[in-house]
Amino acid sequence: MLSTPAREFPAALAFVVVPAPGEVAAALEERVASLEARLSDLDVDLAATAEFLPRLFLVESEYQRAMVMAR
């Protein structure tokens, strides 16, 4: 649960003392890599569509990006 960007992340933090510290660090690094990859994909999509669409039509994508950043 620590490595997967999901809403259950706060619950997973309650059990962070159970696994070995190395396992926790590895899981969190995997989570960061996953979120960074998702942000990169969203940035590419936004850049590609921003060239020909007014910002009004990009609100959903901007919201999605903000939600990924918040995780």
Which residue, 36, 37, 16, 34, is CA-closest to 25? 16
Q: b/e per residue, 15-28, with b = 16+ CB within 10 A? A: eeeeeeeeebeebe
The owner of tokens 């995997």 is: 30
pTM of the model: 0.78
Residue 10: predicted pLDDT: 83
Domain ranges of the chain: 9-70
Write out pLDDT tens, residues 8-65.
888 888 888 888 889 999 999 999 999 999 999 999 989 989 888 898 888 998 999 9
Give dist(CA 3, CA 11) in Å, integer. Answer: 13
